[in-house]
Amino acid sequence: MRIELPVTAMLRDLATGISYPQAQIKKQMRFWQELLSGYGARRIALAANSSAQWALLDLACLDADLLLVPLPTYLTGSQLTHVMSQLQPDIYISDTEQLTAEFTLLEQVGDLLMYRRELAGSGAAITPGCQKITFTSGSTGQPKGVCLSAKSQLDVAHSLIERIKQPSPKHLCLLPLSTLLENIAGIYAPLLAGGEVLIAPDLMRGFNGSQLVSPQALLQLITSVAPKSLILVPELLQLLVMARTQGWQAPPSLQFIAVGGAHVSVALLLQASRLGLPVFQGYGLSECASVVALSGFDARQSTALELELVGLPLAHRDIEIIDGEIVVNQPFLGYLGDAASAGNKVFTGDLGELNAKGQLRILGRRKNLLISSLGRNISPEWPEALLTQSGLIRQAVLVGDAKPYCAALLYLADPKSAALLPAYLQQVNLQLPDYAQIKAYHLLTQPLSVADGTLTANGRPRRAEVVKKYQRQIHDLFVPTTAIGESYEFLSNVG
């Protein structure tokens, strides 16, 4: 697999100020390929902050069909241990010094430190043709590794170029580069279109891990860089909308804002349109190498009915609806360690429909999976099990679908023990990644029960009924942020 970049392609590192024109990109790719080949690299894990070297290493591996596994920096210690146990990489590249005997330092390239893992085993079997493994944020306690071919990634990138048709792209990467959507749509597509890609580390983007802690830094970066395009999760779009209402001006250069990763409300899209933001929503999933469909409706010129659609499938996509579920007809290499999951169809778990023009509308999810407005997948059973394991909490129902954080409805085993709850929640949150931590809660005065329809006969919550019965209390758990300078990190008892 060889990547042909137009002569106008450019990569810029905003932290170092170094620019890489096409010739330098190709030179750096060859450097990484020769370096990795010299050490006999077979399975390469990359765990580092966003940088130009991150992107150059990624491009080098894609071009040479070397197996690369970009790891999110927000994984907990136990999640990382699980990933490393399954993957067993022989080469580990990070911007953080590794001090254990497991790692031997081989090289340093910029801020990236390249280690050999001395204890690397054989690891889980990987389907032939797999070039990249992207780990989801974990719909259960442990992330799942999605195996992708180089062709599947490049097919998406080329289809996006064809669909968007933006001359001379200038894209600012706001999501972590380990996010597959940013990786493919934010790096590959603009470069292959002969455009410029701008990369900044967490601090410059106002992030700490997966949490936005300095919205002002993010806004200032967008203003100073003046990109033509951005990729946002709904929570970041909400930030831009809020900033516009408080006087922030989007740069005139901004022509295309793609929003995806989680459900986007029509109300938010309409609000963005009234404020002049050029927003287009899309739909995709990791198993399909990210983007499946992209709307052609600019929110500034669309009706509410049009904004309910996520658009036509990309040119190389074939979608059908089976028993109400969206199914993508394409080869799937499966999950790491689960050869049986491979096949020629991807059952998405999402309910949807295609209109007469072939445009896709998302109707909901078949499973209980929560997807936060930051695009993180969370199985509610996982935090709920942690909440109830000590006996302090008798019942727990996690809420937070399409919201910036998780909250919970709780029923205590002993109402007199309420004073113990804040400290206990802190202990539980230490066992969860930041995107799954409980930031707010409401104490129920009555338990869920079979009699009132909120509990099944075997003791499981009937989630739709719980949400319906406690919709006011749930609404109050998600108080909108009122000032741009506020952090999203908080824990509040609104019971």
d(CA 202, CA 135) in angstroms, rounded, equals: 20
Buried b (16+ CB within 10 A) or exposed e, 404-430: bbbbbbbbbeeeeeeeebeeebeebbe
Q: Can you give the pLDDT at residue 480?
A: 62
d(CA 280, CA 258) in angstroms, rounded, equals: 5
d(CA 336, CA 330) in angstroms, rounded, equals: 18
Q: Can you give the pLDDT at residue 114?
A: 98
Q: Among 336, 294, 421, which residue's Cα sits nearest to residue 84? A: 336
The values of phi and psi at residue 88, to 5°, are 50, 60
Secondary structure letter of residue 185 according to DSSP: I
Q: Which amino acid is at 215?
A: P
- The set of residues, in sequence order, having a beta carbon less than 8 Å from that of 417 and lying 6+ positions away, is 392
Q: How many CB atoms lie within 10 A of CB 128?
A: 8
Domains of the chain (ranges; CATH) run: 10-365 (3.40.50.12780), 380-493 (3.30.300.30)
Secondary structure letter of residue 418 according to DSSP: G
d(CA 173, CA 156) in angstroms, rounded, equals: 17
Q: Can you give the pLDDT at residue 486?
A: 40
Predicted structure pTM score: 0.84
Secondary structure letter of residue 187 according to DSSP: I
- Alpha-helical segments (H) within 308-457: 381-388, 421-429
Q: Can you give the pLDDT at residue 485?
A: 40
Q: Can you give the pLDDT at residue 21?
A: 98
Cross-strand pairs, 172: 198
Both tokens of residue 199?
A: 């990369």
The values of phi and psi at residue 64, to 5°, are -95, 0
Q: Can you give the pLDDT at residue 493?
A: 45
Q: Can you give the pLDDT at residue 69?
A: 97
| DSSP code per residue over 368-403 | --EE-TT--EE-THHHHHHHHTTSSEEEEEEE-TTS
Q: Can you give the pLDDT at residue 490?
A: 36
Q: Can you give the pLDDT at residue 310?
A: 93
Both tokens of residue 108?
A: 């340093």
pLDDT in single tens digits along all 495 residues of the chain: 689 999 999 999 999 999 999 999 999 999 999 999 999 999 999 999 999 999 999 999 999 999 999 998 877 788 888 899 999 999 999 999 998 989 999 999 999 999 999 877 788 889 899 999 998 765 445 778 999 999 999 999 999 999 999 999 999 999 999 999 999 999 999 999 999 999 999 999 999 877 788 999 999 999 999 999 999 988 899 899 999 999 999 999 999 999 988 778 888 899 999 999 999 999 999 999 999 999 988 878 888 888 889 999 999 899 999 999 999 999 999 999 998 999 999 999 888 999 999 999 998 777 788 889 988 888 888 899 889 888 899 899 999 999 999 999 999 989 999 999 999 999 999 999 999 999 999 999 999 987 788 987 657 788 989 999 999 999 999 976 434 444 333 344 444
Q: Among 375, 433, 363, which residue's Cα sits nearest to residue 401? A: 375
